[in-house]
Amino acid sequence: MAEKQLDCTLAAGEHQKARFARLRKDVFEEQRPYAIVQADMPFELFQVMDVPVVSNQWWAAIISAKRLSAYYLDTLNSLGFHEGLCRYCSLAVASTLAKDPERAPWGGLPKPALLCARLTCDCLQRVFGIWAEAFGSEFVFIDNPGATELPPRWWELSRYRWRELFEEHRLKFTVVQLQNLIRVLERVTGRQFQIDRLCDLMERVNRQEEYFEEALQMICSAGRTPVRMHEQVANVMAAQWERGSDWAVEHARAFRDEIRDRIRQGVVACPEERLRLMWVGAGLWHDTDFYTAFEEEFGAVFVWSMYLAFGPDGYIRYGLDDPLLALASRTVSMNEQLHNPPWANEWIVHQAKQHRIDAALVLTPLGTRPAATGNRFIERALEEAGIPVLPVIADMVDARGWDPKAMRRKVAEFLTTRVLSRRQST
Amino acid sequence: MTNPDFTAKPRNMADPIERLTWHYENPAAEAISFAAGGIPVVGITSDTAPWELIRAAGAFPCVINSGNSNYQDINSFMEEGVFEERIRAIFGAAISGDLQHLSLLLIPRTSEQEYKLYLYLREVARQDPKRPIPPVYLYDMLHTRSPESYAYGLERTRRLKKQLEELTGKLADDAALKHAIEESNSARKAIRKLCRLRGQEPRVTGAGALALIGPSYFMNRGEYARLAELAVEMIKDRTPLAGKRLMITGSSLNHQGLHQSLEKHGTVVVAEEDWWGSRSAGNDIADESNDPLKAIFDKYYLDMPSPRLFPVDIADAWFQQASTDGIDGVVFYLPPDDCVAGWDYPRRRHYLDERGIPHLLIREDAMSISKECNGRIEEFVHSIEAGR
Ligand code: SF4
Ligand code: SF4
């Protein structure tokens, strides 16, 4: 495990563990309903209805960090699911199909009341269908209408002019689906949905993301980064999974404050920082040490990933007179914004410039295809902006086939031949 | 994929089988000659695009199947190993200028890869406006079964109608829609007759059947129906073919490679769960309707296959019915680039096991079946013979 420099990071880890222990207790002892949901679902509705959620991707990352991915993926393959199928979304399913709670992190996932996913790819309904059957739980999905109006610089429209950014028919369709989901949540909890509660929550999410934005700006403008990328991720994601909760808003504030204090005190993450790196794609959850492996020799520090940056640009919504519509707009294009042209490439180059990035590593996860689309566009755009790119063909959760030493050598060579040499020549 | 040859013609113009087969092998030929004659041609990338609407608006609809997967520039934009070969080939054709004869490339949301294809083409065109890419249009029909998906798709279909009318300057009024429905229903009728000649006593090989069904995507459907009916007349008196009757399911096949490989071993492929074969026609569009546009939408929403179709019982209905209809064995085709159909495999395998229906899994690209895989096919055929 990579070093943790921030008090906040430790607090986030402790909080997540305690939260999961509480969830198991609530579910087992008090039969409280909870939901397993895909990362891009509108978590806000679950919050408002007091239904705890476990994100599929978070659980996959935990399994992977505990070095259990090979065991579970082998199990999946032995059941007849071939090795070419997606791993990021199916690792957690595999942990259920393995029927081996002794081995599972923290005793494994208990039976959820609901499984929920947005259908952003053709396999998701299959993955979640299999999972729902294995648990004997209900599966609720949100279908995913396609974007056809693709204005440039989406992040300049997303906060105030989101109604223009995400076509009206897509928003309307998504709202109906959110209403369906609300009805299911009402049935499961026996409680009534209150739109005022959603409105309050949306405002709190805005506040949370504003704190993250301040943190991001400080990281951008500091001479050397006060916080490494992997610690940004740990803090941001702990809060995003329960965005808008008191803990999450408070944690975002504490994160911002700790960064501010570090900057005031002149504390930097890596005193030898000479190169600033960007990681494009989901985290490499099975080898997080990778992210600090190039500091000693090259002074190369990872300072950016999508996780912190997407909070403000992707989530903030001003003008909450119709909170459900605003929530639909937060949900409807996440995949395009993060992965697909024209939005992902433009945004990532913009971020790279803002963060004074010297080089980028772009993850092409062949075991997770939709997350691999759009990458060539991103790589080309970065190179055209003068930022050398190393494509990394690897999987975020599957350590099988990942050769840590070889990859570190490859990155070292890239930094030597493409990044440092260029610096010296300019 | 074959490259279009616009100059060659079928050797025997009077032989309907030869003519249809020629069109199967030259999928762009008719589109190119219509375009040369000043008729707007609308290319489509798969089966859930409403053919009748395009036709009623006065354009010529044609599925793109003569792609260019070797075009070197593809790799500058498209990740290797992420898109299936057919989508890469269409992308290659579009960015290389091979689809310049199209007035519009209509991309239905049959699969997620097609949506990405749409986004990629839009972006290449934006970044390089001089590239000869046809205008692209996303027909965003969703395939989940819910009232809101239905309403959304119907509204998108109305939008598409307007778009096509603007393109051609011709109104797709009810009379034109009904005429187009009649025309395509006649093709469907002929295809169903062909499919019946494949069942219990097959009189045509699977590879042969694909070549007779496929041209319905590339030709004027009235003419197609006429030729297909003639072909049916010629085939129906043939002596039934011997050999184990197989069905194929899994990834879609826009070529005959797998059928030929299986039939080399003395089998007959009598059905495939594929819009290029047994599932191309489905039911007729109900033409007694007073709302032909809705009737057309219903057909594509309710009766055409798509990997996005959900829930499972609807997605599996055809497979379950066809695999228990006197088939000797089922072949699951999950090529290396599959990342969707493989999720259905254990469930469907279980369904067959419960009924004692033999099955075989093929994980190679059907265009280049290895010696080892041929050996497994051989063994599979023997095992069926021994078991029955
Ligand atoms: S393709 Fe992507 S979204 Fe779909 S199941 Fe795989 S990892 Fe998940
Ligand atoms: S990899 Fe991309 S698509 Fe998948 S969950 Fe993460 S952000 Fe979403």
pLDDT tens, position by position, A192-236: 999 999 999 999 999 999 999 999 999 999 999 999 999 999 999
How far is the alpha carbon of B346 from chain A, nearest alpha carbon, in Å?
Answer: 5
Q: At what angle do helices A323-331 and A195-221 cross, to 10 degrees?
A: 50
Contact (CB, 8 A) for A324 and A383: no
According to the model, what pLDDT value does residue B3 have?
Answer: 46
Please report which ligand is nearest the Cα atom of A39: 2
According to the model, what pLDDT value does residue B388 have?
Answer: 53
pLDDT tens, position by position, A124-163: 999 999 999 999 999 999 999 999 999 999 999 999 999 9
Would the pLDDT of A33 be above 60? yes
SS3 category, A180 = helix
Average pLDDT over residues B303-330: 94
Bridge pairing between strands A359-364 and A389-393: parallel
Mutate to test the interface with B, among A369, A380, A384, A393 (most CBs of B within 10 A): A369
pLDDT tens, position by position, B23-47: 999 999 999 999 999 999 999 999 9
Is the CB of residue B149 less than 8 Å away from at least one CB of chain A? yes
Cβ neighbours of B349 in A, within 8 Å: 80
Tokens of A62: 């935990």
Report the C-alpha gap between B132 and B68 in whole angstroms. 15
Average pLDDT over residues A73-92: 93
Contact (CB, 8 A) for A119 and A97: no
Q: Which atom of ligand 2 is nearest to the CA of A396?
A: 1
b/e burial code for range B130-161 (CB count within 10 A of at least 16 → b): eeebbebbbbbbbbbebebbbebbbebbeebb
Bridge pairing between strands B245-250 and B268-272: parallel
SS3 category, B331 = strand
CB contact under 8 A, A145 and B152: yes
Instruction: Work out the pLDDT band at A270, boundaries 50, 70, 90.
Output: very high
Evaluate: CB of A259 within 6 angstroms of ligand 2. Answer: no
SS3 category, B340 = coil
Would the pLDDT of A61 be above 50? yes
The residue whose C-alpha atom lies closest to atom 8 belonging to ligand 1 is A89
pLDDT tens, position by position, B252-298: 999 999 999 999 999 999 999 999 999 999 999 987 778 999 999 99
How far is the alpha carbon of B267 from chain A, nearest alpha carbon, in Å?
Answer: 26
CB contact under 8 A, A148 and B112: no
Contact (CB, 8 A) for B151 and A175: no
The residue whose C-alpha atom lies closest to atom 6 belonging to ligand 1 is A86
How far is the alpha carbon of A142 from chain B, nearest alpha carbon, in Å?
Answer: 9
pLDDT tens, position by position, A34-57: 999 999 999 999 999 999 999 998
Q: Which helix (H) or strand (E) holds A36?
A: strand A35-37
According to the model, what pLDDT value does residue A226 have?
Answer: 98
Choose among B144, B148, B338: nearest Cβ to A84: B338
Report the C-alpha gap between A63 and A76 in whole angstroms. 14
CA of B235 to the centre of ligand 2 (A): 52
Would the pLDDT of B6 be above 60? no
Choose among B77, B122, B149: nearest Cβ to A150: B122
Contact (CB, 8 A) for B40 and B105: no
Termini Cα distance of chain A: 37
Distance (Å) of CA B64 to CA A341, B32, B308, B374: 23, 11, 20, 30
Report the C-alpha gap between B57 and B39 in whole angstroms. 11
CB contact under 8 A, A364 and B79: yes
Q: Which atom of ligand 1 is nearest to the CA of A121?
A: 4
CA of B387 to the centre of ligand 2 (A): 47
pLDDT tens, position by position, B113-155: 999 999 999 999 999 999 999 999 999 999 999 999 999 999 9
Tokens of B91: 């992308």
Location of structure tokens 């499972």: B312
Report residue B344 CA to chain centroid gap.
20
According to the model, what pLDDT value does residue A1 have?
Answer: 52
Task: Specify the length of chain A in residues.
Answer: 426
CA of B27 to the centre of ligand 1 (A): 33
Q: Is the model more confident about A29 or about B129?
A: B129
Q: Which atom of ligand 2 is nearest to the CA of A120?
A: 3
Give all strands (DSSP E) within chain B, no chain letters: 41-44, 60-63, 104-108, 136-139, 245-250, 268-272, 329-333, 359-362
- The predicted model scores a pTM of 0.95
According to the model, what pLDDT value does residue A89 have?
Answer: 87
CB contact under 8 A, A146 and B138: yes
| Of A242, A223, A240, A208, residue with least CA distance to A305 | A240
CB contact under 8 A, B337 and A84: yes
CB contact under 8 A, A141 and B310: yes
According to the model, what pLDDT value does residue B274 have?
Answer: 97
Evaluate: CB of A40 within 6 angstroms of ligand 2. Answer: yes
Evaluate: CB of A371 within 6 angstroms of ligand 2. Answer: yes
CA of B183 to the centre of ligand 1 (A): 40
Average pLDDT over residues B306-334: 94
Instruction: Work out the pLDDT band at A370, boundaries 50, 70, 90.
Output: low
CB contact under 8 A, B152 and A173: yes
Evaluate: CB of A335 within 6 angstroms of ligand 2. Answer: yes
Report the C-alpha gap between A195 and A186 in whole angstroms. 13
Instruction: Work out the pLDDT band at A426, boundaries 50, 70, 90.
Output: low
According to the model, what pLDDT value does residue B376 have?
Answer: 97
CA of A81 to the centre of ligand 1 (A): 14
**Residues near B107 by beta carbon (within 8 Å), at least 6 away in sequence:** B44, B45, B114, B115, B117, B118, B121, B136, B137, B138, B139
Evaluate: CB of A57 within 6 angstroms of ligand 2. Answer: yes
Is the CB of residue B115 less than 8 Å away from at least one CB of chain A? yes
Is the CB of residue B337 less than 8 Å away from at least one CB of chain A? yes
Contact (CB, 8 A) for A9 and A231: yes
Residue B279 has φ and ψ, to the nearest 5°, of -100, 15
Report the C-alpha gap between A54 and A60 in whole angstroms. 11
Search chain B and give the residue with CA nearest A171. Answer: B152
CA of A164 to the centre of ligand 1 (A): 28
| Of B111, B108, B91, B101, residue with least CA distance to B160 | B108
* Contact map slice: B 293-322 vs A, CB within 8 A: 307-308, 310-312
Would the pLDDT of B2 be above 50? no
Average pLDDT over residues A235-248: 95
Phi-psi region of A287 (alpha: psi -120 to 50; beta: other; left: phi over 0): beta
Strand order through the sheet with B329-333: B268-272, B245-250, B329-333, B359-362
Is the CB of residue B81 less than 8 Å away from at least one CB of chain A? yes
Size of interface A-B (CB pairs under 8 A): 118
CB contact under 8 A, B76 and A376: yes
Search chain A and give the residue with CA nearest B144. Answer: A143
How far is the alpha carbon of A85 from chain B, nearest alpha carbon, in Å?
Answer: 5
Average pLDDT over residues A361-372: 79
| Of B177, B366, B162, B106, residue with least CA distance to B257 | B366
According to the model, what pLDDT value does residue A2 have?
Answer: 66
According to the model, what pLDDT value does residue B29 have?
Answer: 95
Location of structure tokens 């952003």: A120
According to the model, what pLDDT value does residue B77 have?
Answer: 95
What does the mean pLDDT of chain A come to? 94
